[in-house]
Structure 1
Amino acid sequence: MYLGIDCGTQGTKALVLDADSGQVLGAGSASHTLQSGANGRREQQPQQWLEAFEQATRQALAAAGVSGEQILGIGVSGQQHGLVLLDEQGAVLRPAKLWCDTESTPENQRLLDHLGGEAGSLQRLGVAIAPGYTVSKLLWTKEQHPDVFARIAHILLPHDYLNYWLTSRACSEYGDASGTGYFNVRTRSWDRELLNFIDSSGRLCDALPELTDSDQPVGRLRPQIARQLGLNPDAVVASGGGDNMMGAIGTGNIRPGAITMSLGTSGTLYAYSDQPTVSPHAQVATFCSSSGGWLPLICTMNLTNATGLIQQLLELDIHSFGDLVGQSPIGAEGLLLLPFFNGERVPALPRSRASLLGMDSDNLTRANLCRAVVEGTSFGLRYGLDLLRASGLQSQTICLIGGAAKSPVWRQVIADIMGTPLVCPQHTEAAALGAAIQAAWCLTPAADRQAQLAELCERCVKLDASTQTQPDPARTARYEEVYQRYREQVSLLAESTPRL
């Protein structure tokens, strides 16, 4: 039995996997709260993650009807780009700045200028650093909290921190490290010179975690943590990885030809590549995968966080929201919502804000507002899909995951806007499943590691035929007109947004 954990923005999910049969036996979850502030601040207390980890784990074990003593390995998936700073004693120095935090946008621009702009960053790192990446958070910390900066002993990502809590070992896996902004995705190594540019003393380099291969375990559970979680004290913690990398494994996206789309707090779209072919489009991040290759990826910062705001405003539950979306026609009778509530990464508008366009005395209805936010967030993913396709990545179908993938209304909107068939796996929370599969991979020696991972994915990743959704050509054509209007408005917004 293997335990998969996914520590996301809104909460932590856990599941118990029988890797021999490929069956998920039980699942659990616990929520997190987000600390929001001026200038795009988005932070969380890592202590919440630990409490949610324990709660979700106990729920999953109870639902599976198995004892924690039967757990052989644990895999951890975590939200990417977050900054967790520890002192010499391993204590957290301040709240973690998250992937969706844009407070350090000015610092990111200064670092980007140092690298020679997007082209220079792509040439040097293989990615163009963007607001939300970890590197600008370090510079922000140095300038805004010098007392905290002076005490840094460990620089960790969220999933690194959870592995550290479980094992006392500070290490990082290539896929998650790719999103820091101080990692070279071609050579799979830290860019220490960039960190020394932030602080010439070399302290930041000394605080870096050890890099480890994706199929290598981190270590055994600490006895105290095993007792606290009610788990087998001999259980081994796998390398784990970023939520997108674990989601790729959890959808079987470990070979060229597949595209995974995630409808979570953010929207992500990624495809496997066996070569580090860096896209000329700066918004395509060619991260390392957690399966031995690379994972060209785009990420929008506004998806269910945006639709959730409209739900709260109109005091709707998720089912009522979906019903209203279905009552409004394509294009929401002229209502267009640019859902950039916290800035945006794709399209690259970090300082933009949301706007509602095309209102008149007839079309400002609850149904049209719900339809407009679903369309606006989906158009961001379509924009990203266009970039992936322009980079040479193709797929005949999309594997759709994330909380919103459970909605038939969402699925049809996505299929029609993308003009591509889609299907969901049986377990749409694929990051936790991928983490459990990776744990089984780490703990089971084999001569051909890639073939072994493929076999595990084939056994454990199952598609839900009832979710297969075909695009309707007539609806796709109508969406294309609305999408082009979206593109026009994005261009106008980009022109009017001052460069930092």
Structure 2
Amino acid sequence: MFLGIDCGTQGTKALLLDAATGTVLGEGSASHELIRGPNGRREQATEQWIEAFEKATATALAQAGVKGAAVLGIGVSGQQHGLVTLDAEGRVLRPAKLWCDTESTAENQRLLDWLGGEAGSLRRLGVAVAPGYTVSKLLWMKEQHPALFERIAHVLLPHDYLNYWLTGRCCSEYGDASGTGYFDVRSRHWDVELLRHIDPSGHLTAALPELIEAHQPVGYLRPELARRLGLNSQALVASGGGDNMMGAIGTGNIAPGAITMSLGTSGTLYGYCAEPRINSQPSVATFCSSSGGWLPLICTMNLTNANGAIRELLQLDLDRFNALVAQAPIGAEGVTMLPFLNGERVPALPQASASLHGLTSENLTRANLCRAVLEGVTFGLRYGLDLLRDCGIHSERIRLIGGGAKNPLWRQIIADVMGAPVICTTHGEAAALGAAIQAAWCHARQDDPQASLEEICERCVSLDEETAVRPDTRAVAAYEQVYRRYRELVNSLYGQR
């Protein structure tokens, strides 16, 4: 039995997997809260992650009706890009700055200028650093909190920090490291010179964690923590990885021919490549995968958060929101929403704000507003899908995960906007499932170095045919016109084609 943990923005999920049969035995969850501040600040107290880990794990064990002593391995999935800094005693210096934090946008631009712009960043790192990446958060911390910056002994990502809490060892694996902005995705090494540009003393480079392969363990669960959590003291802690990398494993997206779309607070799209296909379009991040290859990926900053903002504004529950969306026609009678409430990453508009267009006295209805926000966030994903297709990433069906994937109406809209069939995986918590699968793989390789991740995925990952949706030909044609309107608006306001 293996425990998969997914520490996300809104909460932590735990999942217990019988890897021999592919059966999910139990699940649990616990919520987190955001610390919001001016200029796009989005932070979290790491203590919340620990508390949520314990609560979610206890719930999963209780639901499964099993003893924690049966857990052979643990895998941790974490929200990417977040900055966790520790002092020499292992104490957290300040709240973690998250992926959705845009407070360091100015610092990111200065770093981009030093790198030679997006083209220079792509040449050097294989990715174009964006405001959400970790590197600009370090420069921000140096300038805004210099005394704390001088005390940094360890620089970790969220999942790295949880692995440190579990084992006492600081390390990072290639997939999650890809999103720091100081890692070369081709050579799979830290870019030490870039960090010395931020801190010439070498202070930061000394704080970097050791890099390990995806199949390598971090170590064993600390005995005192095993007692506290009621888990096996010999449980092996796998390398884990970023939530997108674990989501890829949890949807079986570990070989060419699959595309995963995650509908969460943010929206992500990714597909597997055996080689690092670095795209000239900076919005495509060619991260390393946590299964041995690469994972070209796009991420939108606004998805269910934008839908939720309209629901809250109109005081609607989810059922009523969906009913209103269904009442409005494709294109919302000319109403278009650019849902950039948190700025945006795809298209690359970190300083953008949300806006409504095409309003008249006739079309200003609750139904059209609900339809416009759902269409607007979906168009951002379509923009990203077009970029992936340009990279040669294709799939017969798009695999949907995340909370939004449970919505049949949204699944049909996605199929129509993308012009492609979509289907959900049987287990929607793909990142937690992927973490558990990776833990099983890591454990198996201790006895058999040739143990196959593909075989474990075949047992543990399945598609739910009852959720399969095909695009409607007439709706696809209608959405092409509405999508063109969206793109023209983005171009006219921001010069983004």
TM-score, normalised to structure 2's length? 0.98
Change (3 A) 1:186 1:448: farther
**AA of the residue aligned to 1:56:** A
What SS is found at the alignment partner of 2:51?
helix
> How does 1:138-287 map onto structure 2 within 5 Å?
138-287=138-287
Q: 1:366 corresponds to which residue?
A: 366
Contact 1:280 1:391 (8 Å CA) reproduced: no
Q: Distance in 1 between matches of 2:137 and 2:156?
A: 12
**AA of the residue aligned to 2:263:** L
1:27 aligns with 2:27: yes
Deviations 1:399-430 (A, max 9, x none): 01001001101100110000000111111110
Contact 1:221 1:235 (8 Å CA) reproduced: yes
What SS is found at the alignment partner of 1:445?
helix
Contact 2:6 2:432 (8 Å CA) reproduced: yes
Q: Distance in 2 between matches of 1:224 and 1:303?
A: 40
Q: Distance in 2 between matches of 1:412 and 1:129?
A: 34
Q: Distance in 2 between matches of 1:308 and 1:191?
A: 39
Q: 1:381 corresponds to which residue?
A: 381
Displacement of 1:354 after TM fit? 0.4
Change (3 A) 1:450 1:185: farther
Change (3 A) 1:451 1:398: farther
Contact 2:336 2:486 (8 Å CA) reproduced: yes
Displacement of 1:451 after TM fit? 6.6
Displacement of 1:362 after TM fit? 2.0
Q: Distance in 2 between matches of 1:317 and 1:10?
A: 19
Q: 2:338 corresponds to which residue?
A: 338
Q: 1:412 corresponds to which residue?
A: 412
Deviations 1:145-178 (A, max 9, x none): 1011011011000000000011110000100000
Q: 1:288 corresponds to which residue?
A: 288
What SS is found at the alignment partner of 1:270?
strand
**AA of the residue aligned to 1:336:** T
**AA of the residue aligned to 2:369:** L
Q: Distance in 2 between matches of 1:81 and 1:402?
A: 19
- Of all paired residues, the percent bearing the same amino acid is 71
1:489 aligns with 2:479: no
Q: Distance in 1 between matches of 2:139 and 2:286?
A: 23
Displacement of 1:359 after TM fit? 1.2
Q: 1:394 corresponds to which residue?
A: 394
Deviations 1:176-214 (A, max 9, x none): 000000000000000000000000000000000000000
**AA of the residue aligned to 1:486:** Y
Q: 1:316 corresponds to which residue?
A: 316
Q: Distance in 1 between matches of 2:386 and 2:130?
A: 19
Q: Distance in 2 between matches of 1:120 and 1:450?
A: 39
Deviations 1:408-462 (A, max 9, x none): 0110011000000011111111000000000000000289867710000000001
Q: 1:43 corresponds to which residue?
A: 43
Range with greater deviation from structure 2 (132-141 or 316-325) = 316-325
Specify every segment of 5 or more residues in structure 1 that has no aligned partner in the other structure, as ranges. Answer: none
**AA of the residue aligned to 1:65:** G
Deviations 1:321-374 (A, max 9, x none): 222211111111111110000100000000000001111112222211111111
Aligned positions, number: 496
Q: Distance in 2 between matches of 1:367 and 1:448?
A: 57
Q: 1:427 corresponds to which residue?
A: 427
Q: 2:472 corresponds to which residue?
A: 472
Change (3 A) 1:194 1:256: same
Q: Distance in 2 between matches of 1:479 and 1:466?
A: 25
Contact 2:441 2:451 (8 Å CA) reproduced: no
> How does 1:298-309 map onto structure 2 within 5 Å?
298-309=298-309
What SS is found at the alignment partner of 1:169?
coil
Q: Distance in 1 between matches of 2:442 and 2:358?
A: 53
**AA of the residue aligned to 2:395:** S
1:114 aligns with 2:151: no
Q: Distance in 2 between matches of 1:449 and 1:353?
A: 50
Q: Distance in 2 between matches of 1:91 and 1:324?
A: 49
> Where has structure 1 moved over 6 Å in runs of 4 or more?
446-451
Specify every segment of 5 or more residues in structure 2 that has no aligned partner in the other structure, as ranges. Answer: none
**AA of the residue aligned to 2:52:** A
What SS is found at the alignment partner of 1:489?
helix
Contact 1:281 1:391 (8 Å CA) reproduced: no
Contact 1:221 1:234 (8 Å CA) reproduced: yes
Q: 1:354 corresponds to which residue?
A: 354
Q: 2:95 corresponds to which residue?
A: 95
Q: Distance in 1 between matches of 2:263 and 2:30?
A: 19
What SS is found at the alignment partner of 2:295?
strand
Contact 2:5 2:15 (8 Å CA) reproduced: yes
Contact 2:277 2:391 (8 Å CA) reproduced: no
**AA of the residue aligned to 1:104:** S
**AA of the residue aligned to 2:62:** A
Q: Distance in 1 between matches of 2:217 and 2:487?
A: 45
Displacement of 1:495 after TM fit? 3.4
Q: Distance in 2 between matches of 1:121 and 1:266?
A: 24
Q: Distance in 2 between matches of 1:319 and 1:178?
A: 39
Q: Distance in 1 between matches of 2:447 and 2:494?
A: 51
Q: 1:58 corresponds to which residue?
A: 58
